[in-house]
Structure 1
Amino acid sequence: MQMDGELSGLGEQMRTWRRDIHQHPELGFHEHRTAGLVARLLTEWQIDIETGIAGTGVVGTIRGTRGEGPSIGLRADMDALPMSEKGTPAHRSTHDNVFHGCGHDGHTAILLGVAWHLSRHRDFRGTVHLIFQPAEETLRGGSAMIDDGLFERFHCDEIYALHNNNALPAGKVGVRSGAILSACDLFRITIKGIGSHAAMPHKSIDPLIVGTTLVQSIQSIASRNIDPLDTAVVSVCKFLSGTAINVIPDTAVLEGTVRTLSVKAQDITLARLRTICEGAATMYGCEVSFEHLQTSPPTVNTAAETEHVRRAAERVLGADNVIVDVAPLMASEDFAFMLQQRPGSYFFLGHDGLTCHHPEFDFDDDTAPTGATVFLEIVRQRLG
């Protein structure tokens, strides 16, 4: 596919696209400028496109000149985070409290680089669908595209995605069969007690006491209900209650997350959360309601497709630069919904710099050619 020399030169162009996107970040389902940039470039390269999928999603389709064959999906996320950028690069965000602090600007630039190359080298059989997805940070964009007919409109036999990961050195790729990222469940617990004067606690049912008991009891789930060889993390991240220093309030609200690497651990943890809330209500004689706000599954790679990524990465990077059975992360990703629908693999792209969601994070542009080269080699091996 004549990719080495061309991609070396394409690196600077990917850097330019990436920094332009970084300067103009957009939140999930509002990626209008980014989607417009993607659509304009794909059109210039004579790639068939459809826009407006799940609102702001874009899919470009390239059909090989060698005739019928498999269909491969390559996916990149486009949205930014609702946080302020504290770094001072020349391409700093121009929008208050919106910032590409996770690397999605880099993922989009990488897939644009792949698109540019494939538009000029269509000597393969089958089809490549370039999926530019909105709203990954909300964990809803992937499922929204699926609900909008993604795989009915753009048939994919297998699907691939990547994410930068500074736990790996730049120039290396990490692959893993099975769960590579955790499931994510968001919850809210509302306690309705009885308020009172701080000097008369015996006339109250103190929701703060109930809430602190719940926080401690919840921590027993991972240590006493989950198989030690499995993984679960339950974090209560918000505890809201009270309005005055001398008043016992009548309500308290706890909010948090559950992260699990298996569906079994996910089911056990959610069931135990409900049971603990029911027990607290009985013990304290108050109302304790549990709300399961949002869920996404673990990101589970299929074995055959992970092997395709390994072989592709080893061919273009060398075996020493491919980490097999890379350690999973307890972060979550809505590419998981796509992997529930189609076989595929999600892999890590090593990079130098800070970790994702740090206020001074900036994508390592020098890694973009590595990511694009691996994607292109997957296409070559599967369709070439």
Structure 2
Amino acid sequence: MFLSNQDVIELAAWRQRLHAMPEVSGEEIATAAEVQRFLGETKPDGIVAGLGGTGVAVIYDSGAPGPTVMFRAELDALPIEEVGQPDHRSKIPGKGHMCGHDGHMAMLAALGRQFGRQRPKRGRAILLFQPAEETGAGAAAVIADEKFQALKPDYSFSLHNMPGLPLGHAWLKDGIANCASRGLKITLSGRTAHASMPETGISPVPAVAKLMPALTGLSKGGIATEDLVLATVTHASIGEPAFGIAPGHAEVWVTLRTMTDGEMDGLIASAETLVREASAEGRLGYALEYHDIFVHSENDPEAAALLRAAMDAEGVSHEPGETMRGSEDFGRFATVSKSAMFFLGAGEDMPNLHNPNYDFPDDLIPIGTRIFTRVARDILG
């Protein structure tokens, strides 16, 4: 299996088409339809749409007994206004592919072109275009979908582009690849009052002033070390934007992050204790909500070895690298398959991920595709 120069040109153009039509988590209807159109031309043996919401699975079946190997890319973009000026810049105000998921989709589409020309010799290859990765909801929704039971893989593989690493250089770590994280929304309820008589109300201001440094103070451990515990206040609001009203309502948002799921339980308990104590002291009601829940992502030794062997065979330089403090919901596929994820350098001088002028480098498409192709060939023939 191979990609021609014309393939690479067409895949880059398709990536740029996706870049211009970003859709955020849970809204990837047009993107999913475009995936089905583009890969429908490869005459797959099946397409499962509406998977876990808007997800799409494209199936290439050898017809012979063997394992099922799944490669995953993400459909969603981010609620970020693009400030870069490529010809293919986002046409959707306030939304942009600032994480490079458009490039990940192009790599899977490249695999699809090759499987369309030559099926695996045994087993099945499945290309999963997953929704809602950015919110941590997509993988769980896909796995819970009844349609996924017929697709359940033996192996699952994924990658993420990584600015700051040399173009095409890979990080592949045994064990934990990404940290666990979740967002905690704290709502404090008191009683508003006239600003001239604040003593007649119950203000959340003292509680917020106490909570923000106390929550941040839960952080400990070094960068990407086994004892990492990180609490980051990301948003706070108090009362109404008016000078005549003493506030009676407040919100504090904090992201909780740990190396493993087990450590997350302790961090949650500590954060909730701080909220209870501050609320009681301030005579406030409180409510807690959790959002964007990511489990830690851990590479299976056998799956990681297969990726490493593929990189060696394809001449892709690699090293163990670090555990990413950023989270990835690909980790949930470890509950149903042997899974592994690696990070592929997008260039040392590239803007960081989620930067409003980030644009996935098209030169990375054939490199990632070669690695995935070799893995598929090694497992399925």
Please say if residues 303 and 340 of structure 2, whose CA atoms lie closer than 8 Å, have aligned partners that are also in contact.
yes
Secondary structure class of the residue paired with 1:132: strand
Instruction: Please list, as runs of the form range in 1=range in 2, the aligned pairs for 1:233-312 lying within 5 A after superposition.
Output: 233-243=230-240, 244-245=242-243, 247-312=245-310
Please say if residues 184 and 258 of structure 1, whose CA atoms lie closer than 8 Å, have aligned partners that are also in contact.
yes
Please say if residues 60 and 120 of structure 2, whose CA atoms lie closer than 8 Å, have aligned partners that are also in contact.
no
In the other structure, the counterpart of 1:343 is: 338
Please say if residues 205 and 250 of structure 1, whose CA atoms lie closer than 8 Å, have aligned partners that are also in contact.
yes
Secondary structure class of the residue paired with 2:304: helix
Instruction: Please list, as runs of the form range in 1=range in 2, the aligned pairs for 1:19-168 lying within 5 A after superposition.
Output: 19-48=16-45, 49-64=47-62, 67-149=64-146, 151-168=148-165
State whether structure 2 residue 184 is matched by structure 1 residue 184. no
Whole-angstrom distance in 1 between the partners of 2:179 and 2:120: 38
CA change 1:301–1:236 in 2 (3 A) is: same
Question: Alpha carbon RMSD of aligned pairs, Å?
Answer: 2.2
Where does the alignment leave 5 or more consecutive residues of structure 2 unmatched?
none
Secondary structure class of the residue paired with 2:17: helix
CA change 1:43–1:207 in 2 (3 A) is: same
Cα shift at 1:201: 5.1
Q: Deviations over 1:194-218 (max 9, x none)?
A: 4445565555543111111011111
Percent identity between the aligned chains? 31
Secondary structure class of the residue paired with 2:218: helix
Whole-angstrom distance in 1 between the partners of 2:308 and 2:261: 25
Cα shift at 1:74: 0.5
CA change 1:327–1:152 in 2 (3 A) is: same
Whole-angstrom distance in 1 between the partners of 2:148 and 2:50: 15
Which of these residues, 308, 316, 328, is aligned with residue 333 of structure 1?
A: 328
Moved more, 201-210 or 53-62: 201-210
State whether structure 2 residue 8 is matched by structure 1 residue 11. yes
Please say if residues 280 and 288 of structure 1, whose CA atoms lie closer than 8 Å, have aligned partners that are also in contact.
no
Please say if residues 216 and 233 of structure 2, whose CA atoms lie closer than 8 Å, have aligned partners that are also in contact.
no
Q: Deviations over 1:127-149 (max 9, x none)?
A: 11111112212221211111213
CA change 1:94–1:281 in 2 (3 A) is: closer
In the other structure, the counterpart of 1:313 is: 311
Q: Deviations over 1:37-78 (max 9, x none)?
A: 22123222110212222232111111236x211110101111
Aligned residues: 376
Please say if residues 7 and 373 of structure 1, whose CA atoms lie closer than 8 Å, have aligned partners that are also in contact.
no
Whole-angstrom distance in 2 between the partners of 1:228 and 1:348: 18
Q: Deviations over 1:171-202 (max 9, x none)?
A: 11111122211222111112223444556555
Amino acid at match of 1:348: F
Amino acid at match of 1:60: V
Whole-angstrom distance in 1 between the partners of 2:263 and 2:33: 41
Q: Deviations over 1:145-186 (max 9, x none)?
A: 112135412021010011100131101111112221122211
Cα shift at 1:24: 1.6
Moved more, 78-87 or 286-295: 286-295
Secondary structure class of the residue paired with 1:254: strand
Amino acid at match of 2:331: A
Amino acid at match of 2:288: F
Secondary structure class of the residue paired with 1:330: coil
Please say if residues 186 and 257 of structure 1, whose CA atoms lie closer than 8 Å, have aligned partners that are also in contact.
yes
Secondary structure class of the residue paired with 2:186: strand
Secondary structure class of the residue paired with 2:250: strand
Amino acid at match of 1:383: L
Amino acid at match of 1:248: A
In the other structure, the counterpart of 2:318 is: 322
Cα shift at 1:20: 1.0
Moved more, 255-264 or 157-166: 255-264
Q: Deviations over 1:258-292 (max 9, x none)?
A: 12221122111111111111111233333233322
Cα shift at 1:9: 4.8
Whole-angstrom distance in 2 between the partners of 1:382 and 1:7: 23
Please say if residues 78 and 105 of structure 1, whose CA atoms lie closer than 8 Å, have aligned partners that are also in contact.
yes
Where does the alignment leave 5 or more consecutive residues of structure 1 unmatched?
none
Please say if residues 230 and 262 of structure 1, whose CA atoms lie closer than 8 Å, have aligned partners that are also in contact.
no
